Structure 1
Amino acid sequence: MSAIIIDGGLVHYESIGRGKPLIFLHGWLGSWRYWIGSMEELSAYFKTYALDLWGFGDSDKFHQRFTIEDYLKLLEDFVENMGIPKLCLVGHSLGAIVAVRYAAKHKDKVEKVVAVSLPITGNAVNFALFQGNRYSRLVPSELQELQREVQKASSKAIELSINSIRELDLRLELINLKVPTLVIYGEKDNIVSSEFSMAFKDFKAPVRFMAIPGTRHFPMLEEPSKFNRLLKEFLALGVELDKLEIKQEWRRKMG
């Protein structure tokens, strides 16, 4: 376990690999752990980092720093503390918002962004599902390890971070984004709707929207081979946004 102190609180993170920096940011229903498979896949190309945001995983849960702006400041401080000059970002739901905001604010520091299950506006989020503090029910039953991570999260962190995006609108930031950005949705996501986002496919920013068939809110866990191949082709192998396709992982030919 690795940790640093930021703004008086402990921030837990893990890192594997060598190469250019790549930071993974989790969403409302998890921690750094659901990025393990992706980190391993990309570790041959990048020095990968995954951190627990305030209130999640093994990071500090005792300070009320649970808004989007708090998490953006946390990422900024983490990058500065780690001495990272330039990086790629992968974020999921809450983490995707933070990644896009960071890229819009620090264009000179970010090479590429992957935003998974990104709500472009607050209207894209099914807030009703987060009522009643029964968050583990939002996780597919087959993802048992993730359910354990949800139970470790501060309910206040989930509540306040969710409420902080009710007026969210990332349209202007995405339209003006200069950083190549891949936005990935689960085709059957019932937490973040992709319908509104997919309507913006034709704007001129270097942004590509893709949906992985059959997946819900956690495409990186539900279809890891397809998801990780997209990541590898876009982030590591330099495949252009308009040339990306959803495929299984490479298979070595026999015979």
Structure 2
Amino acid sequence: MYYEVYGKGEPLFLLHGYTQSSKSWKEYVKDYESKYEVYLIDLTGHGKSEPFKQEMSIKSVAQDLNSLIRHLGLKQIKAIGFSFGGDILYQLALINPSILKSMITIGAVGTWTIHDFPEYLKAFTFENRNNFPWLKTSHEGDEQIKGMMNQFKNYTVRLSNKELQSIKPEVLIIIGDDDEGMDFEEVVRVKKNLPKSDLWILPNVSHGAHEGETKNDFIIKSKAFFSKKQNQ
């Protein structure tokens, strides 16, 4: 599993979305490295990490991440996860309840299935890879890209109310109100059942609620959230 480390302080993990890599978080390092030891991770099957060797599951990727954290000898981390990365964090919180001090998820509530979005499967194919310019710059080659595209059909994960209620870290859920991949009834269920959670819904914003025009607001909000936890 490939990773890069920047800065000094509390460990802060930044996790990318499906078909992205740690490069998607590179421009955010400068915003956190003065206070945190920032870890940019290539999740299983992505970037410079090993390709998928078996059928992909969100839980198995979270187990790989947990193994990396143990290997690094870290007792507790803070983390931000976008989309796929956010779903991984919910699973990590179940696998290793004490490892996460607090976490932010963007465009993710821990439950999602590709079967609700057949148009995504139709668009996200290896044959259409040239339509997604970040693929060539983020990954090690066509075989890895093909592996990710082929595994997309296995992207399905669900958190029960009981599992949500057992999650220990404080969670900031960030959702754009134009995020077509998010079911707002599901967002409400997750918020209702997470013991310690805040919800920030951004108007007129789509899936990448931390990017573009909202980036500065996201940086301010995320720093305030993590500092609040640190002072408790």
TM range (shorter): 0.7 to 0.9
- The aligned residue for residue 248 of structure 1 is none
1:113 equivalent in alignment to 2:103: yes
The CA distance in 2 between the partners of 1:93 and 1:119, in whole Å, is 8
SS across alignment from 2:37? strand
Partner of 2:67: 77
TM-score by length of structure 2 reads 0.82
Does 2:142 match 1:154?
Answer: no
Query: Quick one: structure 1 residues 150 and 58, their matched pair in 2 at CA, closer, same or farther if it must change by over 3 Å?
Result: closer
Task: Give the deviation of 1:146 after TM superposition.
Answer: 7.2
Conserved? CA contact 2:90–2:110, under 8 Å: no
* Structure 1 residue aligned with 2:17: 27
CA RMSD of aligned residues (A): 2.8
Q: CA deviation at 1:169?
A: 2.9
Instruction: Return the match for 1:231 from 218, 222, 232.
Output: 222
Spell out, residue by residue over 1:210-238, the C-alpha distance to the aligned partner (whole angstroms, 9 max, x if none). Answer: 12222211122232111111111111354
Contact 1:54 1:66 in 2 (8 A): no
| 2:129/2:135 contact within 8 Å kept | no
After superposition, where does 1:1-255 map in structure 2 within 5 Å?
11-61=1-51, 63-64=53-54, 66-122=56-112, 126-132=117-123, 133=125, 134=128, 148-149=137-138, 154-165=145-156, 168-203=158-193, 205-222=195-212, 223-238=214-229
Equivalent pair of 2:56/2:154 in contact (CA under 8 Å): no
**Does the aligned pair in 2 maintain the 1:91–1:115 contact within 8 Å?**
yes
Q: Secondary structure at 2:2's aligned position in 1?
A: strand
Partner Cα separation in structure 2 for residue 155 and residue 172 of structure 1: 36
Residues 102-127 of structure 1: per-residue CA shift (max 9 Å, x gap): 11232222110111111443358534
**Higher fraction of helix:** 2
Alpha-carbon separation, structure 1, partners of 2:129 and 2:183 = 18
Note the C-alpha offset of 1:145. 5.1
The answer (yes or no) to whether the contact 2:18–2:83 under 8 Å persists in 1 is yes
Structure 1 residue matching 2:211: 3-state secondary structure? helix
CA 1:135–1:221 in structure 2 vs 1: closer, same or farther (change >3 Å)? farther
**Unmatched runs of 5 consecutive residues or more in structure 2:** none
* Distance in 1 of aligned mates of 2:5 and 2:208: 21
Identity of aligned residues (%): 19
Quote the Cα distance in structure 1 between the aligned partners of 2:109 and 2:194.
Answer: 19
Deviation at 1:191, TM superposition (A): 2.9
Rounded to whole Å, the distance in 2 between the matches of 1:94 and 1:18 is: 26
TM-score by length of 1: 0.76
Q: 1:237 to 1:201 in 2, by over 3 A?
A: closer
